[in-house]
Each structure stands twice: as structure tokens, then as C-alpha cells.
Structure 1
């Protein structure tokens, strides 16, 4: 792959954006390679956590200028197929059965902000900036709207979409878009520490079941959810991880997952 690289180390799968000369801008090849890499990570049994990271000083600047130029000349059917590819990518990230993390060094704008709306945890450097600027070029952030509303809420999403405002890392943290701001010289080490702790202390089975449960709850009404959580609670009590965890807890032993 030219624009995306995947490798797994110590149970952490790293997906790196390599298009730094174009500020890791999105085009068809970037989307296709990103999807391929993410599927590899999702299927990799050695991988427990997936970290998205950038090379260069921009996480992702959104759509490539040539890509925007090309879509102007496409038919409606061609644009629908093109949009489905991006939707599939975001959906794969959002619905991953593994913990997903964005390690952000620099700006995440438009589609870049869309990517981090799909990951579970987001850590960034102090100089990072964020925004959905589509409104400024006569476009709309349609696909990412589903994930942004979940990440920062309806009201905050509405304000960011309509204003096209670029916000700093502090405001992004207040909105819930960012979990922690870390100095650039320390972010690699600190994210490594976080992933190492997650790998040691969190059950892989529980991570997967929790994420499945939350996805179903989002789609169901309250009555359906009440029945669902009772069944899931009972099912969880029969898993091997539960038995190991309870045994360790009752015997006051530490457990390595």
C-alpha cells in the first residue's frame, strides 16, 4: 500500500497515514487502502487495540483538492458509489469490536475530523485543531454526521457544522471530541503506556461484547433494550473470561488478559 501502513506490535495494531506531503488528504486510493488496513487489523487475532496515527504534522486535512475536482464531474450514481466507500470506512471504524484510538499530531479537518468521530479514544497534541469546514465550500458533512452526533452531541455538532468553525485542542476536549491533550514530545510514550495498560487489564471478550451491546442499544427502543440487557447480563456470566475474572477477584489474585 502507498498511503497507508499496517503493523502489529505487542497486541496493538498501528494504522499509519503516509501521505504527509499532501497533509494526509483523503482521495479514493487513501480510502481504499485505509479500509484494507482496517479490515486486516480487525481480523488480526494478535491485535487487541487499533491505533490510527499520522506521519507529518497534520493528522488528516480532509478531501484532496484533486479528489474534490474529480467528484464534480461524476454522475449521481458514481457519487453514490463513491460515498458508500467512505461510509463503509467510517462504519468499519465505528463498529470495530476492538478498542480504537486516534493519536493526533496536528490538525484533523473535515473528513479528518470525521475519522476521529468514529474512534473510541482520542489523544492529541496541544497545537492540534479541529473543524467541519464543508459548509465553506458549498458541501455538507453528511456521512460523518451520524458519528459526530454520537461523539459530541446534537447541539455541538449543529454549531460546528453550520459555522465551519476551526476549534483548538482545549475546546475540542471540552466538547468531548478529545480525551486528553499531550505534549508532542510525550504523546507516543503516553499512548504506548495507555495501550499497554488496556492490553494487560481489559478482557478482549468483554471489550467485544460491550461494544456489540452498545451498538444494539443505540438502535433499539427502551422496552427492547430492557430485555436485551437482561439476556446479555446472563450470557456474560457464562463466558470463560468471566469465570477467570471472578476466580481471580475472589481469590485476590491479579490477572493478565
Structure 2
């Protein structure tokens, strides 16, 4: 058995089916908020040499009604009173989660339903493909609490350009899935009941 699959995850569900790896953010009681523990577990999965173990694609989803509400608010409150070293470690953790997805050699697909906010948006859009339900909505809300989405801004221009990019990061409002598709933030919009199947069909077509 793979060392990865032998691990116990508390905030993720991880399972393999053939050459596909299914990863689910699994803290629906908090809308899959990105706590330090969840972030570390995501990094563990995506930094793993998946292709070397025969995994050709990763499909990420969120349990419950929402993909992810972004950073855990309780943890953010703690950071306001944390020292420089703690804040530096947190920044490095965020850098690693996005980099681990961006540089994962296996194909990566994110399936989004419900709300996808701040770091949750960053996580989803770091994937090669993003498929969303018709009712999904997206927002980069960092500036509302005095943060700049600096790490996200390094790769988001690969998807969104110009005025649309500035509006996303500097004027945080929810946009619906259709608008997200129009500006290039996501790749496809499907009915909610088709989300999982759409992800598998996309992967099957790309890996033929």
C-alpha cells in the first residue's frame, strides 16, 4: 500500500480508484474552512509523488453544501496577536498549499459547489481544471479583513486578466458560476447532480 494511503487524515477523505485519487475536504460543519491541520494534510497529499505511484489524476471536492469558506476565522483571529515568526510560518504554509497543487505532476481537477471563498478560491483555481455547479459562487474576500491576496495573485493571471482580475481581488463581491466561467476563473458549469460525473468524464477524456 502507498505510504500516502496508509496515513490517517482527520480533515480529508482520500481514496484511490485505479489511476485516480479522490480527495475530499471533510469538515462540512465549518464549511470546509482551511484550518492549519487541513492545509497541512492537503500539502501532504499534493506534495506526494503521485505519478510515480501510478496516479494520473486527482479530483478534489468538498463535503457538504460548500466547497470551502476559506481560512478558519478562529485561526485568523489568533494570528492578529501572533508574533512575526508565527505569521511567517503561516505565510509559508499558504505558499506551500498553492505550490503543491500548481506543481503536482498528475492532472488536477477541482469540483466546486456552494460557496468558494478566499483561500478556498485560491485552492480550487490552482488546479488544472475547475468544474462548478450552476449554484456555485466565488469570492476573494481577503481585503475585507485587511489582507492582500498576494500569493493567489502570482498565478491567478493565468486564468483571469485585466479589469476582471482587479475586480476579483480589490472589490470583493460574490460572482456566480456563469460569471466565473465568462471571465475564465473556472472551466465548466454543470447541474449539481452532474458534478461528480462531469469531473470523471473530463479526466477520462483528457487521459485517453
TM-score when normalising by structure 2: 0.91
Choose which of 19, 31, 35 in structure 1 pairs with 2:27: 19
RMSD, aligned CA = 1.4
Residue pairs, 1:193-232, within 5 angstroms:
193-199=201-207, 201=208
- The structure in which a higher percent of residues are helix is 1
Task: Give the equivalent residue in structure 2 for 1:123.
Answer: 131
1:198 deviation in Å?
A: 2.4
Choose which of 47, 61, 76 in structure 2 pairs with 1:53: 61
Deviations 1:59-85 (A, max 9, x none): 011111111111111112220111101
Q: Is the Cα–Cα contact under 8 Å of residues 126 and 169 in structure 1 kept in the other structure?
A: yes
SS at match of 1:152: coil
Deviations 1:88-115 (A, max 9, x none): 1100101121211101121111001111
Task: Give the equivalent residue in structure 1 for 2:185.
Answer: 177
How many correspondences in the alignment? 200
Choose which of 137, 141, 149 in structure 1 pairs with 2:149: 141
Residue 35 in structure 1 maps to residue 35 in structure 2: no
Task: Give the equivalent residue in structure 2 for 1:89.
Answer: 97
Point out where structure 1 has 5 or more consecutive residues left out of the alignment: 202-257
Task: Give the equivalent residue in structure 1 for 2:166.
Answer: 158
Task: Give the equivalent residue in structure 1 for 2:122.
Answer: 114
Residues 43 and 192 (structure 1 numbering): CA distance in 2 closer, same or farther, change over 3 Å? closer
Q: Is the Cα–Cα contact under 8 Å of residues 60 and 107 in structure 1 kept in the other structure?
A: yes
Residue 187 in structure 1 maps to residue 195 in structure 2: yes
Task: Give the equivalent residue in structure 1 for 2:6.
Answer: none
TM-score when normalising by structure 1: 0.74
Deviations 1:123-171 (A, max 9, x none): 0101100011111122211211112122212432211111012100010
Q: Is the Cα–Cα contact under 8 Å of residues 51 and 106 in structure 2 kept in the other structure?
A: no
Point out where structure 2 has 5 or more consecutive residues left out of the alignment: 1-8
Q: Which of these two proteins has the greater Rg computed from alpha carbons? A: 1
